[in-house]
Amino acid sequence: MVEGAPALLVERDANDIVVVTLNRRQAVNSVSFEMWELFGEALDRLERDTPARGLIVTGAGGFFCIGGDVKLPPARGEGALAPATRLEMGQRIVARLRRLPMPVIAAVEGGAFGIGWSLALACDLVIAADDAKFGAPFIDYGTVPDGGAAWLLERQIGRYRAAELILSGRTIDADEAARLGLVSRIVARGSAVAEATTFLAGVGQGNRHATELAKRLLNGAQESSLEASHALELAYCAICQTGEEVVRARELFVTKAAAARATKAKG
């Protein structure tokens, strides 16, 4: 990291895709109070404004995040849980990421460890470079899984496999992570952000309201009953049916179908 550079970079491109970059290169993008504070400010803007097309979380210098910075004290203030203040800030970021009403992608180069992996697991998709590695070695450092790692892993891969990863603290590569269902897509080294950007640019063919409401359905799927999900589907479908996106999507479908028929007839 250049001297004086912020610990977190936030960029919004012409396609309304936001890229948040963990930017503590000299510390392998380990988390700090400054990083969490800047992340919170970025989420404030994303929650307040019209939902962006999507959010990409990545790390500078070809590495996602090594975890908490063990060289910096994690405490702040005089409260009962003051020794874990930095962690509590990270927990809030993880929870807010999961609730965002837009697709969120972790673009992982190099590796994601500790709370850095929790941050990636909180996203809707994980696009990982073929050299990426993942690990939750909390017990090896005399502490417990944090950032929601145990909760996120248990729901993603089940109790037995989550327990094996957490208790062993071992590192897994991108291929094993994909087999376990912890990676959405493996891409060439150095291309994770570009692949995530391309994915988001193509989501829903620009149907922003439908994308937002689909994400809201996903947000509640794990914690609600089927009946509750059905009720939300009805409400959200009714909203979509009264908007312009359904009309535009149907017109596009008809146009594409006609073009396909014409091409087939010529052949």
What is the residue-level pLDDT of the chain in tens, covering all 267 positions? 455 799 999 999 999 999 999 999 999 999 999 999 999 999 999 999 988 999 999 999 999 999 999 888 888 888 888 888 999 999 999 999 999 999 999 999 999 999 999 999 999 999 999 999 999 999 999 999 999 999 999 999 999 999 999 999 999 999 999 999 999 999 999 999 999 999 999 997 778 888 888 888 888 887 788 888 888 888 888 888 887 876 776 776 677 777 777 787 776
> What domains lie within the chain, and their CATH numbers?
8-204 (3.90.226.10), 205-266 (no CATH)
Q: How far apart are CA 135 and CA 171, in angstroms?
A: 5
Entry pTM: 0.89
Contact by Cβ (8 Å): 32, 7: yes
Q: What is the pLDDT of residue 64?
A: 98
Name residue 105's beta-bridge partners.
56, 125
Q: What is the pLDDT of residue 182?
A: 98
Q: Would you state the pLDDT for residue 1?
A: 46
